[in-house]
Amino acid sequence: MGAASRTKRIPAARRIAQILDHAVVLFSQKGFDRVTMQQIARRCRVTEAALYRHFRSKDAIYEAAILSLRRRLDLPAAMAEAEKANSLGDLLTAIARTILRFHREHPEMARLLMQCSLDRHRLCSRAFRDLRAPFVRYLADRLEEMIRAGRVQAVQPQITARCFIGMVSECGLSNHLWGGIQGARYGEEESIRNNVAIYVRGLTRNRPVARRPVVARSAVPRKNANVKPPGPEGPGNRWTRLGGGKRSLDRPSSRDIEGRRQR
Structure confidence by residue, pLDDT tens digits, 164-186: 999 998 888 777 666 655 667 77
pTM of the complete model: 0.66
Q: Which long-range contacts (CB under 8 A, 24 or more apart) does 140-143 make?
A: 142/82, 142/91, 143/203
Instruction: Give, in order, the Cα–Cα distances in Å from 98 to each of 1, 13, 80, 103, 220.
Output: 44, 28, 10, 9, 48
User: pLDDT digits over 125-161, tens only?
Assistant: 788 888 888 899 999 999 999 999 999 999 999 999 9
191 vs 244 pLDDT, higher one: 191
Contacts of 25 (CB under 8 A, 6+ apart): 43, 108
CA–CA distance, 101 with 115 (Å, rounded to integer): 21
Q: For the chain, what percent of residues have pLDDT higher than 90? A: 37
CA–CA distance, 219 with 221 (Å, rounded to integer): 6
CA nearest neighbour of 132 among 89, 179, 169 = 169
- Directed axis angle between helix 88-105 and helix 107-119, to 10°? 90
Helix boundaries (H) for 120-211: 124-131, 133-148, 157-176, 188-203
Domains of the chain: 3-71 (1.10.10.60), 74-179+186-203 (1.10.357)
Which range is least confidently modeled, 10-14, 113-117, 188-192, 224-228?
224-228
CA–CA distance, 108 with 116 (Å, rounded to integer): 12
The SS3 assignment for 155 reads coil
Instruction: Give, in order, the Cα–Cα distances in Å from 259 to each of 61, 220, 224, 238, 254.
Output: 64, 17, 11, 21, 9
